[in-house]
């Protein structure tokens, strides 16, 4: 069977799964779903009920980073897995504290103002560290860390793009701009018809 990838176009977790599948060149059946109307086949497959969810002959992979690693383990033509161990630390920081901060800033009306301010400060500290550590990429060449982080940095940037663009993060700005203008980003963001059984 061709693996089935359940996805939602704007979800950053689904974006990074699609990025790794795309660069690997592996064939999957992409099923675009609506999170407000999750189909029964998806709910039967996904233990968490969240995207992305990859259904393979060997079983279900329900975490975006695991889907990235699955795809790249089979074919990694650009050497994304050949990154320093520090790349895993950047991914852990992005998936943990930065994502928590991002959610509080993006959905500010759900939290008190003090909590939102603290979250924005924490996110700013992360991006300041990232800006200071990186060159054109996080390491000398593109790696898993870049494409695991970029969808979340994109989401944070577009909460308030003029404010984001005014921050003193020139390397982060250039890195994100290259990604947003790339053919790779355009390809994974092509609109798909909503899948129906």
Nearest Cα to Cα of residue 149 among 80, 82, 46, 62? 80
| CB within 8 Å of 17: residues ≥ 6 apart | 5, 7, 52, 54, 64, 67, 68, 71
Half-sphere exposure of 57 (CA within 13 A, CB side): 2
Q: Where are the domains of the chain?
A: 4-79, 86-183
CB 94 within 8 A of CB 149: yes
Give 4-79's CATH code, choosing from 3.30.1300.10, 3.40.50.720, 3.30.1510.10, 3.40.30.10: 3.40.30.10
**pLDDT score for 90:** 98
Q: Which two structure tokens, joined as six digits, stand for 177?
A: 């701009």
Residue range 86-183 in CATH 3.90.70.10: no
pTM, full prediction: 0.96
How deeply is 167 buried, as exposed, middle or buried, from its count of CB atoms within 10 A (0-12, 13-18, 19+)?
middle
> Which positions of the chain have pLDDT values less than 50?
none
């Amino acid at each position: 069977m061709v693996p089935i990838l359940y996805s939602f176009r704007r979800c950053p977790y689904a974006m990074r799964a699609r990025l790794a599948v795309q660069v690997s060149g592996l064939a999957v059946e992409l099923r675009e779903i609506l999170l407000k109307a999750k189909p029964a086949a998806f709910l039967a497959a996904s233990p968490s009920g969240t995207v992305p969810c990859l259904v393979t002959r060997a079983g279900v992979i329900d975490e975006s980073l695991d889907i990235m690693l699955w795809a790249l383990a089979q074919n990694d033509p650009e050497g994304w897995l050949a990154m320093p161990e520090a790349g895993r630390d950047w991914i852990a920081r992005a998936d943990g504290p930065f994502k928590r901060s991002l959610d509080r800033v993006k959905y500010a009306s759900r939290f008190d103002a003090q909590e939102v301010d603290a979250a924005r400060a924490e996110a700013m500290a992360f991006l300041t560290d990232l800006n200071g550590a990186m060159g054109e990429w996080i390491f000398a060449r593109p790696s898993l860390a870049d494409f695991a982080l970029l969808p979340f940095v994109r989401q944070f940037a577009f909460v308030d793009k003029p404010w984001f663009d005014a921050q003193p993060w020139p390397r982060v700005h250039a890195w994100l701009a290259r990604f947003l203008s790339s053919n790779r980003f355009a390809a994974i963001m092509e609109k798909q018809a909503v899948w129906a059984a």
